[in-house]
Structure 1
Amino acid sequence: MSDLSGIDLSAVVKAYDVRGVVPEQLNEDLALLFGAAFVETTGAEAIVTGHDMRSSSPGLAAAFARGAAAQGADVTEIGLCSTDELYYASGTLGLAGAMFTASHNPARYNGIKMCRPGAAPIGQDTGLREIRALVERWAAGEGLPEPRRPEGSVVRRDMLEEYAAHLLSLVDLSGIRPLRIVVDAGNGMSGLTAPAVLGKVPVEVVPLYFELDGTFPHHEANPLNPANIVDLQNAVRENAADLGLAFDGDADRCFVVDERGEAVTPSAVTALIAVRLLAEHPGSTVLHNLITSRTVPEVVREHGGTPVRTRVGHSFIKAEMNRTNAVFGGEHSAHYYFRDFYNADTGMLAALHVIAALGSQPEALSGLVRRYQRMPASGEINSTVRDTQSTLAAVREHFTARPGVATDDLDGLTVSAPTWWFNLRPSNTEPLLRLNVEATESSTLNRIRDEVLTLVRA
């Protein structure tokens, strides 16, 4: 084993996953230790692994499997897959799982997303802290403990068709009208999963960048950056398409553009899917993180559901999905969670719901979602600061002096008034504050946004 003493695990182990530059921060020797620590922490006798299309992913996944097997766990490797396919495997097989991906990060990065059986999340408070502590101890020279069981087996299994069939069983697409859909895979894993799923749907797919390529030669696989959906927007217009879909690198997020090539906000997608699922499951709970539009809880209440506001982050939302038995949850970052998908996030299932909603009625997508885009929003604005806590305190003091203003600390600082609200939230990994503002009028939005940014950047 190579020398791991120079690797700073505090920079690699994030709030919800492991992520770093390969090989400087994450290499195969370290992945082996993570595999062993994963088994030690979870007590798993069998696990499932998968990986994305990055050149480093197969080696890292294989090393993790060796570490897990050395501690006595049997390993099922499903190979190339999307993150939500790994969650499907974890759920349907009842196994703890590990996905090797750095999602939307640049090519030099890789990482590990881990879960317990049934796709239950592993974050800092649900096992990741313990896994890091073991890896640090072993990397410092203590060595792996004696395994409690004989060495486990490592077997391969392809689950793509099972995954596709499961998704298609959850949405009725039999009666939809003909649709032309542009899909931008961004050279990520939806280049594999989209043909398997959408190839069985009565729609015409115009593919963009379906070739699996972890160097991302066309654009970063991060559709929340407006620069990365320009090709999709142009292709929708050029092909007179009804809809455009863009997936991130590991295809657990889905971003939508309408027939004009205009972006549909994830909040509007959340509201649209909530309406569909509340019609199927009347009176259910729907989760939304605190940065989604106020329109989302309004729409949920209008359709007889119970909205529940949550912190940002998949481990928090999945835990809340389980606690509340919510039928669905949505985030501003285009993560969508489904009770029928082991409470996990899946961009492809969200896409199928949008296709079903659009294809089951004659209206264009822009008209269909207009009712769910009621307030102007700023989008996320990042500011680098020296001291996040003192900056938050200064912003709080500035705004709480005003009548009719309320604050809460569910995740960062949220300040609310009758015609506007904003959330200012520290990054988990960088000296950044992330600002989101929404208001009933654009002029109010601009005024509040500028006022907060002046305080933050002073």
Structure 2
Amino acid sequence: MNTNIFRQYDIRGVADRDLNDEIIDLIGRAFASYLKKVARIAEPSLVLGRDIRPSSDRIYRALSKALIASGIPVTDVGILTTPVCYFAVQHLKKTGGIMITGSHNPPEYNGLKLVAGKSSIYGEEIQKIRAIIERKDFVSGKGSEERVEIIPTYQDYLKQSFKFKRKLKVVVDSGNGTAGLVAPKVIREFGHDVIELFSEPDSRFPNHHPDPTVEKNLEDLIKKVKETKADVGIAFDGDADRVGIIDDKGTIIWGDKLLILFSRFILKQKPGAKFVADVKCSYLFFDDVKQHGGQAIMWKTGHSLIKQKLRDENAALAGEMSGHMFFADRYFGYDDGVYAGIRVLEILDQSGKRISELLSDVPKTYATPEIRVDCPDEEKFQIVARVAEFFKSRYRTIDIDGVRIEFGDGWGLVRSSNTQPVLVTRFEATSEKRLHEIKKLIEDKINEFTKQTR
């Protein structure tokens, strides 16, 4: 068994090699044991969902068989988005769930996202499942299997949660992922004019990769929004737990700007509300929340970490640059791209304004996208530590996740990826000239310490 499949946030690998039936059987038995012995759930019951990848059906069969043999009642909710699987856990009152999905990874990959109660299983908890396999500490029993159609229930829930007065023109790019099964239909049923792009689920992702954080993947959506003079464009990743938004002018609204849009409207209803954003987000978000009477908390990057912080702080909303948006305000606190997209439509409907107007007072800054630099796992933490040590004695720094160096007129971030052998950097400044200066200063130090480490 390739132990590298046990990642920070999920279990993931090349389906035919790393997640064959034998390995899935071990994971299923280990998770059953984890629920009973570690999570101490007396009578565990699980929802199992899956995406459209060719390997997902096979993995489902092997997984459900292992869980049933371990005494777990299994509810099969079929092919759906990851958030609908989470919804099923809540709505059907089960003690946990497993979503079989490769998300936005290449077609040959697949993975398992695990939930116990309302919490994602991540970090050390995933390693405990690996340890159970190594100890062969399994349980046995006689479980059961039932099939439930949950997508119509989810759509009804959304329809009851929102009311619209205006008809909006909306372009929806499902990127050939599972969002196509849900998003266009439910948005159309609100009475909006929906223009669909790539709604047909296809695990080969023939049109573009389903990752809305990459500008290239949004080109078709931007073009269609401009061409049709739409009010908004909405894109999703492969399993629809992330969202990408294009405004009426064809401009990408990145995660931190989207958080500004959401937080302003929540603060009108909930003065003083708390918000959580990851360390990659612009200082504009943190300043804006403060200016509007709220509290903004910066936290570590990683959807499971952000979701947990949302709970710990009893915040109304949490989000990441990557497009994960966690609404505890009027929702369950997990990341749901379709729900987040509808919240954008609600803001447009209630304000009577366009996104470009709603964000027109946000100061202009110059920022890089996330920059990923290959760096071996055994070196990356040491390099980040050296960079942090150097800048701490010279500038104000924030070290909750890597090091974020604050310059007054800009900032730079250096952190180790939790999932890959790379260093992640991002830079922002009040002018293009200053952006290049900050970027060069920090990158020169990274290069210097990289050479010394090797």
Same fold (TM over 0.5): yes
Choose from 24, 39, 60 the match for 2:32.
39
Structure 2-normalised TM-score? 0.92
List structure 1 segments (4+ residues) > 4 angstroms apart after TM superposition: none
Instruction: Pick the aligned partner of 1:199 from 178, 188, 192.
Output: 188
1:18 aligns with 2:36: no
Shift of 1:457: 3.3
The equivalent of 1:153 in structure 2 is 144
User: 5 Å matches for 1:195-234?
Assistant: 195-234=184-223
Relative distance call for 1:51 and 1:373 in structure 2 (3 A) is: farther
Cα distance in 2 for residues equivalent to 1:92 and 1:267: 30
In the alignment, residue 323 of structure 1 is paired with which amino acid?
D
- Please state if 1:395 is matched with 2:375: no
Alignment partner of 1:430 out of 388, 403, 420: 420
Shift of 1:282: 2.3
Which residues in structure 2 correspond to 1:156-305 (within 5 Å)? 156-170=147-161, 172-175=162-165, 177-305=166-294
> CA offsets, 1:28-49, max 9 Å, x none?
2222221221111012521101
SS of aligned partner of 1:89: helix
Per the alignment, residue 28 of structure 1 pairs with 21
Deviates more, 1:306-315 or 1:97-106: 306-315
The answer (yes or no) to whether the contact 2:373–2:424 under 8 Å persists in 1 is yes
Looking at structure 2, the residues matched to 360 and 342 of structure 1 have their Cα atoms a distance apart, in angstroms, of 22
Q: Say if 2:48 and 2:77, in contact at 8 Å, map to a contact too.
A: yes
Q: Assess if the C-alpha contact under 8 Å between 1:33 and 1:67 holds in 2.
A: yes
Q: 1:370 to 1:102 in 2, by over 3 A?
A: farther
**Aligned residues with identical type, % of pairs:** 32
SS in 2 for 1:199: helix
Aligned to 1:4: none
Residue 136 of structure 1, CA deviation? 3.6
Deviations 1:233-288 (A, max 9, x none): 11111212111111000001010111222211111111111122222222221111
Q: Structure 1 residues 146 and 348 mapped into 2: Cα distance closer, same or farther (>3 Å)?
A: closer
Residue matched to 2:66: 67
Q: Retained in 2: the 8 A contact 1:84–1:344?
A: yes
CA RMSD of aligned residues (A): 1.7
Paired position in structure 2 for 1:450: 440
Amino acid paired to 1:38: F
Contact in 2 for aligned 1:184/1:207 (Cα 8 Å): yes
Which residue of 1 is the match for residue 102 of structure 2? Answer: 102
CA contact (8 A) 1:383 1:456 kept: no
C-alpha offsets along residues 156-186 of structure 1, whole Å, 9 cap, x if unaligned? 101112212223433x4322x3221111111
Quick one: distance in 1 between partners of 2:374 and 2:363?
30
| Alpha-carbon distance change, 372 to 65 in structure 1, aligned in 2, over 3 angstroms | farther
Residues 1:249 and 1:383: Cα distance change in structure 2 (over 3 Å): same
**1:314 paired to 2:314:** no
Give the counterpart of 2:343 among 339, 350, 353: 353
- Kindly state the Cα deviation for residue 440 of structure 1 after the two structures are TM-superposed: 1.9
Q: Distance in 2 between matches of 1:278 and 1:94?
A: 31
Q: Helix, strand or coil: the match of 2:301?
A: coil
Report the 3-state secondary structure (helix = DSSP H, G, I; strand = E; otherwise coil) of the residue aligned with 2:17. Answer: coil
Alignment check: 8 A CA contact 1:383 1:457 kept: no
Partners of 1:19 and 1:111 within 8 A in 2: yes
Equivalent in the alignment of 1:128:
126
Aligned residue for 1:383, secondary structure, equals strand
Q: 2:79 maps to what in 1?
A: 80
Q: Distance in 1 between matches of 2:151 and 2:283?
A: 37
For 1:428 and 1:137, locate their aligned partners in 2 and report how far apart those are by CA, in whole Å: 26
CA deviation vs aligned residue, 1:393-424 (integer Å, no higher than 9, x gap): 4423443453xx11232111111121111211
Residue 226 of structure 1 deviates from its aligned partner by: 1.3
Mapped partners of 1:264, 1:399: distance in 2: 31
Aligned residue in 2 for 1:49: 48
Q: 1:371 aligns to what SS in structure 2?
A: coil
Deviations 1:72-118 (A, max 9, x none): 01000100110110111112223200001011111010000001123
The answer to whether the 8 A contact 2:278-2:301 is kept is: yes
SS at match of 1:379: coil
Kept after mapping to 2: 8 A contact 1:242/1:364: yes
Is the contact between residue 29 and residue 138 of structure 2 (CA under 8 Å) also seen in structure 1? no
Q: 1:257–1:263: 8 Å Cα contact kept in structure 2? A: yes
Change (3 A) 1:297 1:117: same
Given the superposition, is the C-alpha separation of residues 15 and 146 from structure 1 closer, same or farther in structure 2, using an over 3 Å criterion?
A: closer
Task: Read off the aligned partner of 2:71 and give its amino acid letter.
Answer: G
Alignment check: 8 A CA contact 1:293 1:375 kept: no
Q: CA deviation at 1:189?
A: 0.7
CA contact (8 A) 2:164 2:349 kept: no
Letter in 1 for 2:398: D
CA contact (8 A) 2:388 2:402 kept: no
Separation (CA, whole Å) in 2 of partners of 1:298 and 1:146: 51
Letter in 2 for 1:132: R
Distance in 2 separating the partners of 1:114 and 1:388: 27
